[in-house]
Chains A and B, each alone.
Chain A
C-alpha cells in the first residue's frame, strides 16, 4: 500500500491503426513509467507494421502477394495468431474467416452515395473466401488461389492490447490500463484497490455511456455496428460480414464482453455480433460475461454492470 500511495498516474496517448489509443500506467516515478510505456507502445506499433495490409513490408502483404504461388515462411508469433483465428473460425461455424477481407471490395463504406452490391458480385468474391482451404503449418503458409487475402484486422488490435499489458507488467507496472481504440485491458486494480471503471459507449450517442463495468486484471472489448457502416433505405449495413453469406449482420447495435484477455474479449464480441440472434446461446456456452444491445435498443446480458452509484 505505501508503494501505491506514492505512485502517480502517467497517461500516454498515441495514434496507430488509424485510431487513437491511450495507456495509463501507475509508477513511483516518471522514468519507470516512460520506459514501460515506450516499450509497450513500440510493440503495438511493431504489431501494426507486421500485420497491416497497408504496407508492402508486412507479413500480411507478403502472404497475399504470393497467393496462388509459393508458400511464405512465417514465425512463431504469426503461427500462434493463425491458430487462434482457426479456433475462431471453428467456434463461429464459419462466420468468422481470416480470408473474408476480400469482401470489402463489394462493401465500400466510404462511397458516397453508398451502394449495395449485387448477388453476382458477392458470389464472385465468395469464391476467394475460405479459411479451410488455406494451407498452413508451423513453418509456412500458402493461399491456394490468386486473389485470396488474409486480413488480421479482426484480431490484431486485441492481441496488441494484451501484448502491451504484458510488457508493462514486465517493466514492473502493477496498476495500468491500456485502451486501444475501445479495446481495454487492465492490470491489477486502481492503486487505491478499487476496480477499474470502464464505461460502455452508447452505440448511437457517441458522447454517452450506456453502462459501467468494473474490472480487475481483465479486459473489456466492444464490437458494434457503428464503427463502419452505411445506410440505404433506412437499413444499416455495417462492416461485420458473415463470411458464409458475404453480407453484414444486423441484429445487435453492440456487444461488449468482459474476459481475462483482450484477445478473448474481442473475439467473443465480434463472434457474438456475427451470431446475431444466436449470440446469447453462443456466449453462454463460452461462459462469457457480456452486454448486448439490440437494434431496437433493448439490452441483453449477464454482465455485472451498473448504471450509476447503486
Chain B
C-alpha cells in the first residue's frame, strides 16, 4: 500500500506539491480520465464526472508527400479545439479543422472560369461537437460531425454510453453512429451520389495496476452506397463495405525512468479484402524543466483489396465489375517514425512541436506479397500545438 500521493504530482503544469490532498474527489475525477475511452472524438470529459477544467487548444499541421521523381502534395491544416464544462454534470466540446488542399482527391481542374471569380483550390472544413451528460458513474454523449469540400460532404451523428464499475477500475462503453456522405465530383463522373454508414462500438477499459491500464474495443461498420473514386479511370468499387476492427491499447508508467510506455495494436478486416495490422509504440519521457520528449514508431501492413489490380490496366477486365488501381488499396507495409517535444508552462499552458516521417513500400508488407509495379510513397508532417487549461 502506498502513501497518499501529492494531489498535484502528475499534473504537468507543476501544481504545488503542498496542495492539500483532496484525494477522494480529485482522484476520482482524474482516474475517470484514465478510464475514458479514446478515439476520434476523444473526450477530455471523463467517464464518470464532469471535467473540472476547460481546455482550449490550437494546432497547426504542415504536411508534404512525394514519390520518387513525382509531384509533391502539400496540405496546411490549422485546427482548434475547446472543451467547456457546463455546471457539474455537463460538458461540451468541439473542434474545427481547416484543410487547404485536401489530401487524396487530386485537383481535376487546373482552374475555374466564372463571372464571380471563384478560385479552384480545394478546401476542406471539418468540425465536430459533442455534449456529454454525467449521471452516477455514467456518461452519455451525443455528438455530431461534418466535413465539407467542394465535391464531398459528410455528416455524422453519434451516441455513446460509458459506465464505470463501482471501484472505477473497469469502464464499459457502447457507441453507435450514423454517417451520410454526398459525393459530386468536379469532373461530373459522380453526380449526386450518396453513401450511408452505420457504426457500432463495444469497448472496455481496465486498470491493471497502479501503473498500467489496458483498453480494448471492437468496432463494426456497415456502409452502403458510392465508394468508387470518380477521379480514377474506370474505378468501380462494391456498393457495400463492412469493416471490423479490434483495437487494443496498453499504457504503462515506469517510475524508474519517469516515463510512460504506450503500445497499441489494431487488427482490421474489411469486406473490400484489405485486411491490415497496425502496431505502434511511444515512449513518453519526462525531462527536467517541464519538458517531455516522445519518440514514436509505427508499423502498418495491409493486404490488397479483392478488386485491386496491379498497373498497367488489366486486359480482359469486364466493364462494371469492381476494379481499382488506387495504390492505397494495394498490398504494402508502412513505417512511421516521429518525435515530439512538449513543454508545460505555468498557468496550464502546454506547447509542443512534433516531426513525423512516413514511408510506404510494397516490399515492407509482412510476409511478403506486396503489390508489384509501385513506387515508394513518402510523407512528412510537422505540427505545432498550443494548449491552455482553465
A residues adjacent to B (C-beta < 8 A): 5, 9, 13, 19-22, 24, 177, 179-184, 190, 196-201, 203, 206-209, 212-213, 220-227, 254, 256, 307-309
Across the interface, do A199 and B111 meet the contact criterion of CB distance under 8 Å?
yes
Across the interface, do A209 and B118 meet the contact criterion of CB distance under 8 Å?
no
Q: What is the minimal beta-carbon distance from A4 to any residue of chain B, in angstroms?
A: 13
User: Size band of the B side of the interface?
Assistant: 20 to 34
The residue on A at minimum CB distance from B149 is A207
Q: What is the minimal beta-carbon distance from A182 to any residue of chain B, in angstroms?
A: 4
Q: What is the minimal beta-carbon distance from A186 to any residue of chain B, in angstroms?
A: 8
Is B5 in the interface zone, CB < 8 Å from A?
Answer: no
Q: Which positions 102-118 of chain B face chain A at CB distance < 8 Å?
A: 108-118
Return 21 A-B CB contacts under 8 Å, by A number: A19-B117, A20-B117, A20-B119, A22-B111, A22-B119, A177-B110, A179-B113, A181-B116, A182-B118, A196-B111, A197-B108, A199-B108, A199-B111, A199-B186, A200-B112, A201-B116, A209-B188, A222-B115, A224-B115, A308-B189, A309-B187
Across the interface, do B116 and A206 meet the contact criterion of CB distance under 8 Å?
yes
Q: What is the minimal beta-carbon distance from A100 to any residue of chain B, in angstroms?
A: 18
Across the interface, do B115 and A227 meet the contact criterion of CB distance under 8 Å?
yes
Across the interface, do A224 and B187 meet the contact criterion of CB distance under 8 Å?
no
Beyond A307-B188, A309-B189, whether A223 also contacts B115 by CB under 8 A is yes
Q: How far is the CA of A198 from the CA of B187 in the complex (A)?
A: 11
Q: How far is the CA of A226 from the CA of B116 in the complex (A)?
A: 7
Across the interface, do A184 and B113 meet the contact criterion of CB distance under 8 Å?
yes
B residues adjacent to A (C-beta < 8 A): 69, 71, 108-120, 150, 184, 186-189, 233
Q: How far is the CA of A209 from the CA of B117 in the complex (A)?
A: 13
Q: What is the minimal beta-carbon distance from A224 to any residue of chain B, in angstroms?
A: 3
Across the interface, do A182 and B113 meet the contact criterion of CB distance under 8 Å?
yes
Across the interface, do A24 and B118 meet the contact criterion of CB distance under 8 Å?
no
Q: How far is the CA of A256 from the CA of B189 in the complex (A)?
A: 22
Q: How far is the CA of A134 from the CA of B108 in the complex (A)?
A: 47
The residue on B at minimum CB distance from A178 is B111
Across the interface, do A199 and B120 meet the contact criterion of CB distance under 8 Å?
yes
The residue on B at minimum CB distance from A209 is B186
Residues of chain A lying within 8 A (CB to CB) of residue B150: 207
The residue on B at minimum CB distance from A9 is B71
Residues of chain A lying within 8 A (CB to CB) of residue B187: 209, 212, 307-309
Residues of chain B lying within 8 A (CB to CB) of residue A190: 110
Q: What is the minimal beta-carbon distance from B294 to any residue of chain A, in angstroms?
A: 34
Q: How far is the CA of A198 from the CA of B119 in the complex (A)?
A: 11
Across the interface, do B111 and A198 meet the contact criterion of CB distance under 8 Å?
yes
Residues of chain A lying within 8 A (CB to CB) of residue B112: 179, 182, 198-201, 209
Q: What is the minimal beta-carbon distance from B182 to any residue of chain A, in angstroms?
A: 12
Most buried by B among A179, A208, A226: A179
Residues of chain B lying within 8 A (CB to CB) of residue A21: 117
Across the interface, do B114 and A224 meet the contact criterion of CB distance under 8 Å?
yes
Across the interface, do B111 and A177 meet the contact criterion of CB distance under 8 Å?
yes
Residues of chain A lying within 8 A (CB to CB) of residue B115: 182, 201, 203, 222-227, 254
Across the interface, do A201 and B111 meet the contact criterion of CB distance under 8 Å?
no
Q: How far is the CA of A22 from the CA of B109 in the complex (A)?
A: 14
Residues of chain B lying within 8 A (CB to CB) of residue A183: 113
Residues of chain A lying within 8 A (CB to CB) of residue B114: 182, 200-201, 203, 206, 222, 224, 254
Beyond A207-B150, A209-B109, whether A182 also contacts B116 by CB under 8 A is yes
Residues of chain A lying within 8 A (CB to CB) of residue B188: 209, 212, 307-308
Across the interface, do B109 and A198 meet the contact criterion of CB distance under 8 Å?
yes
Beyond A198-B111, A207-B150, whether A13 also contacts B119 by CB under 8 A is yes
The residue on A at minimum CB distance from B153 is A207
Residues of chain B lying within 8 A (CB to CB) of residue A197: 108-110
Q: What is the minimal beta-carbon distance from A263 to any residue of chain B, in angstroms?
A: 15
Beyond A201-B118, A309-B233, whether A256 also contacts B108 by CB under 8 A is no
Residues of chain A lying within 8 A (CB to CB) of residue B120: 22, 179, 199
Beyond A201-B115, A227-B116, whether A24 also contacts B110 by CB under 8 A is yes
Q: How far is the CA of A229 from the CA of B71 in the complex (A)?
A: 42
Residues of chain B lying within 8 A (CB to CB) of residue A203: 114-115
The residue on A at minimum CB distance from B115 is A224
Residues of chain B lying within 8 A (CB to CB) of residue A212: 108-109, 187-188
Q: How far is the CA of A20 from the CA of B189 in the complex (A)?
A: 29
Residues of chain A lying within 8 A (CB to CB) of residue B186: 199, 209
Q: What is the minimal beta-carbon distance from B118 to any residue of chain A, in angstroms?
A: 6
The residue on B at minimum CB distance from A21 is B117
The residue on A at minimum CB distance from B231 is A309
Across the interface, do A198 and B233 meet the contact criterion of CB distance under 8 Å?
no
Most buried by A among B110, B114, B116, B189: B114
Residues of chain A lying within 8 A (CB to CB) of residue B110: 24, 177, 190, 196-198
The residue on B at minimum CB distance from A183 is B113
Most buried by B among A21, A197, A200, A226: A197
